[in-house]
Amino acid sequence: MSYTILYAKQFIKIDEARVIPFILQGDNNVYETDRKRARDWSNSRMFNRTIITSNETLLQEIERFKQDTIERCNEDVKQYDGTWAYDEKRFGYHTGIAVGARHTTKTSFGMFKNFFVSGINNAKTIEELAELGCSLAIRVSEYDKEKITKAGLEVKPTVNFTSTEQAVATIEEYEAYYKGHNVYLYIYAYGMDRVVEKSKKTKTPKQKTKVDQYFQINTPFGLFVKNTSRGFQYSRWNAKAFRTEKDACKSLDTLKNKFPQHNFTVELVQKEAYI
């Protein structure tokens, strides 16, 4: 079954209240010649009819999308059986959408919504993107040029954006000109992949705080370090330090549930550390 994959995003900030949702996406069953799934950056029209949308409207439409999905699932339950019931944790399965490397069945509504919320929060202006090596332009879809000509309209040229103000004026001009003709206008980006990679590398590291004591978890094999996909990692010398006993007990409960055959204990360590 075909579904859409949302790989990454870099929303374009117009002002404090508006953005252009710009998303790297593709379909799971569409491949390039090197057997890599095809994916493209584009201004998303998933929840907005215009290129520029308000943050508030975008989030409202996401909630409406959720409600429509619930109602559709309820109708399917009536027609078929309870296996069609809406499940918040399997939102992607109901909608045919996967976020990142997850499958649709592992994409919850929270993950889906947060994809757009974080896109709004981390949006960058055209000027900021230019400083990072990304240039943007507006284009008329190649597939619509014949339709435009038959309608007696001009096929407007590609225009490179030089500033937010100029971009807004150009977008509004193009959308007004083609209004009612169902012409797809898209934003082209050169260098957006580099921007996303730079953003990942320049994330502010979590600041650690010095403490006089901490808690650790003892395992039958050594000191607990972290959970892994198939078990847990341990060490003879270095342990994961927990700030509070409550935090340590949360991890302890997870270990006990996954490995009831082993004995795990929480220990207070009265020694300075950075957590």
List the chain pLDDT tens, one digit each, 275 residues: 789 999 999 999 999 999 999 999 999 988 887 778 889 999 988 888 899 999 999 999 999 999 999 999 999 999 999 999 999 999 999 999 999 988 999 999 999 999 999 999 999 999 999 999 999 999 999 999 999 999 999 999 999 999 999 999 999 999 999 999 999 999 999 999 988 887 777 656 677 888 999 999 999 999 999 988 788 999 988 899 999 999 999 999 999 999 999 999 999 999 988 88
In angstroms, the CA 273 to CA 212 distance is: 7
Q: Are residues 83 and 16 in the same domain?
A: yes
Residue 132 and residue 116 share a domain: no
Which is it for strands 40-43 and 53-54: parallel, antiparallel or unpaired?
Answer: unpaired
DSSP reduced 3-state for 185: strand
Instruction: Name which of 127, 189, 191, 130 is nearest 158 in CA terms.
Output: 189
Q: Classify 114 as helix, strand or coil.
A: helix
Q: How far is CA 8 from CA 12, 50, 150, 195, 242, in A?
A: 13, 21, 37, 11, 32
Nearest to 234 by CA among 209, 205, 259, 268: 259
**Do residues 89 and 24 both lie within one domain?**
yes
Considering the domain architecture, whether residues 8 and 99 belong to the same structural domain is answered as yes
Same domain, 19 and 82: yes
Residues 118 and 69: their CA atoms lie apart, in Å, by 22
Domain closes at, from 201, 222, 242:
201
Residue type, 135: S
Structural domain that includes position 33: 4-121
Residues 28 and 135 in one domain: no
| Co-location of 16 and 112 in the same domain | yes
Residues 44 and 147 occupy one common structural domain: no
Q: What's residue 249's pLDDT?
A: 95
- Domain co-membership, 106 together with 18: yes
Pair (136, 236) in one structural domain: no
Domain count, the chain: 3
Q: Which of 97, 121, 145 is the last residue of a domain?
A: 121
Instruction: Specify whether 140 is located in the same domain as 225.
Output: no
Residues 69 and 149 occupy one common structural domain: no
Contact 264, 210 (CB under 8 A): no
CA-nearest of 36, 11, 6 to 21 is 11
The neighbouring-strand residues paired with 267 are: 216
Which one-letter amino acid corresponds to residue 170?
A: T
Question: How many DSSP H helices and E strands does the chain contain?
Answer: 8, 16
Residue whose entry in the numeric block shows the structure tokens 């003879």: 236
Structural domain ending residue among the three candidates 81, 102, 121? 121
